[in-house]
Amino acid sequence: MSKADKSEVFTNVILEIFKLGGLLISEGDQLSKEYGTTSARWKVLGAIALADSPQTVSQIAKTMGLSRQAVQRLVDVISKEGLLEFRANPVHKKARLISLSDSGMDIYAKLDKKQVRWAKDNSLNFSKKDLQTTLSVLKDVSRQFEP
Amino acid sequence: MSKADKSEVFTNVILEIFKLGGLLISEGDQLSKEYGTTSARWKVLGAIALADSPQTVSQIAKTMGLSRQAVQRLVDVISKEGLLEFRANPVHKKARLISLSDSGMDIYAKLDKKQVRWAKDNSLNFSKKDLQTTLSVLKDVSRQFEP
DNA sequence: CTACAATTGACAACATATTGCCAACTTGGA
DNA sequence: TCCAAGTTGGCAATATGTTGTCAATTGTAG
């Protein structure tokens, strides 16, 4: 009885994630528009910026939980905009190492600054405890489905 | 100090939603594959099945938080598979009313049954209280961004 | 009744995600 | 050292989401 109710709540969490995901992508697109980029490309910039060292496409894709091909395409288009730098990978002849160019770092810093303000503004109505619970649950759910 | 930390947690929640969203779509695709459909189409079937009365494309789109055009395309392809029925709308000559056909209801019932089992299995490790907190937070976040 | 704004479906272009395929490349075991 | 299995980028097809445009339709105000 109680278990059945729990799985219904679980299902509603999932439906809400689908809905909220779309809304958040729109928000990201709005935030990044001024710098001529999109939320998907911003995510790639972020994955590169936050990595400890230059990464290959394949590594970035793993970090992001996306397919390699999706990231490859995004990297290609971001690279055309001059935001990335490539160098040879001593470990693999085909898989170059990718980092942000100077202008890539510049754009990312601006986006990040804007996002921090946005997050501050939009987290006002939530308690830290609730957000931490939410994060913990979401991470545990993710873990259940990761390949 | 404490506020800055909270917005970081908020940001991490958002990143986790992006990641988990992709994983859940894959799950939905796996679950629906056996009935020759996809998670996106299943969502449309669900929106129609759960509506109190037959809906127009535009109404379904509003319920789902998607664009009208996205839903139109999905409705068209689901209709080709014989899962939908259309009838005239007394209120609007162009906007037909859509409901599930007999086989549409059959497929949806099967998918729903499968999903209930899936949700039961996958909610085992979570407390009802945590899931309720999570749902509440996610809904409140959605509310902030809805048009 | 008429004019205008808003809504709706149809069609299109674009962005982004997946899976599949292939050749080049790397890794690990015999 | 050699070979088979696994990984990687490049290319392609498909699915799904967005925004834009247009004509048909509806709703509202004068």
pLDDT-based confidence at B147, cuts 50/70/90? confident
pLDDT band at B3 (very low <50, low <70, confident <90, very high): low
Whole-number pLDDT of residue A147: 77
Strand D–CB A26 distance below 7 A: yes
Q: Which residues contact B114 (CB under 8 A, 6 or more apart)?
A: B31
Could you tell me the CATH number of the domain that includes residue B32? 1.10.10.10
Residue A30 has pLDDT above 80, yes or no: yes
Q: Tokens 């009365």 label which residue?
A: B53
Q: How far is the CA of B128 from the C1' of C14 (A)?
A: 42
Band (pLDDT 50/70/90 cuts) for residue B4 is low
User: Is there a contact between B10 and A119 if contact means CB atoms under 8 Å apart?
Assistant: yes
pLDDT one-digit tens code per residue, B113-133: 999 999 999 999 999 999 999
Chain A partners within 8 Å of B137 (Cβ): 126, 130-131, 133-134
Establish, for the pair of chains A and B, how many residue pairs have beta carbons separated by less than 8 Å. Answer: 156
Asked if the C-beta of B30 comes within 8 angstroms of chain A's C-beta atoms, the answer is no
pLDDT for position A34: 92
Q: What is the pLDDT of residue B146?
A: 83
CB contact under 8 A, B7 and A128: no
Residue A108's domain comprises 2-124
ipTM confidence: 0.88
pLDDT at position A4 is: 56
Residue among A27, A134, A139 whose CB faces B137 most closely: A134
| pLDDT at B10 exceeding the cut of 70 | yes
Shortest distance between the Cα of A134 and any Cα of chain B, in A, equals 5
| Mean pLDDT across chain A | 93
Among A49-53, B2-6, B61-65, which is the least confidently predicted range? B2-6
Which residue has the closest alpha carbon to D20 C1'?
B69
In a domain, A58, yes or no: yes
CA distance A143 to B98: 38
Q: What would the DSSP string read from start to end of chain B? A: -HHHHHHHHHHHHHHHHHHHHHHHHHHHHHHHHTTT--HHHHHHHHHHHHSSS-B-HHHHHHHHTS-HHHHHHHHHHHHHTT-EEEE--TT-SSS-EEEE-HHHHHHHHHHHHHHHHHHHHHTTTS-HHHHHHHHHHHHHHHHHH--
B76 pLDDT higher than 80: yes
Does residue A28 belong to any structural domain of this protein?
yes
Residue A17 belongs to some domain of the structure: yes
Nearest CA distance, B15 vs chain A (angstrom): 9
A135 CA → C23 C1’, Å: 42
- Tell me the mean pLDDT in the region A92-104: 95
Nearest by CB to residue B19, choosing from A18, A65, A128, is A65
- Please give, rounded to a whole number of angstroms, the shortest distance from the CA of A90 to a CA of chain B: 30
Whether B50 and chain A come into contact, CB under 8 Å, resolves to no
Q: What is the mean pLDDT of residues B36-53?
A: 95
pLDDT of residue A95: 94
Greater pLDDT, A147 or A76: A76
The confidence score (pLDDT) of residue A17 equals 95
Is position A141 within any domain?
Answer: no
Q: Per-residue confidence at A3, pLDDT binned at 50, 70, 90?
A: low
Note every long-range contact of B53-58, with CB atoms under 8 Å and residues 24 or more positions apart, other chains counting: B53/B97, B54/B87, B54/B97, B54/B98, B54/B99, B55/B97, B55/B98, B55/B99, B56/B89, B56/B92, B56/B95, B56/B96, B56/B97, B56/B98, B57/B95, B57/B98, B58/B95
Separation of B141 CA and C19 C1' (Å): 33
Residue A2's pLDDT band, with cuts at 50, 70 and 90, is low
Residue A92, domain member (yes or no): yes
The pLDDT of residue B2 is above 80: no
Domain count for chain A = 1
Write out which nucleotides of chain C lie closer than 7 A to a protein Cβ. 7-13, 15-20, 24-27
Domain membership flag for residue A130:
no
Task: Judge whether B73 and B40 are in contact, CB under 8 Å.
Answer: no
CA neighbor of B20 nearest in space, from B124, B109, B134: B134
DSSP state letters, chain A = -HHHHHHHHHHHHHHHHHHHHHHHHHHHHHHHHTTT--HHHHHHHHHHHTSSS-B-HHHHHHHHTS-HHHHHHHHHHHHHTT-EEEEEETTEEEEEEEEE-HHHHHHHHHHHHHHHHHHHHHTTTS-HHHHHHHHHHHHHHHHHH--
Mean pLDDT of A112-120: 95
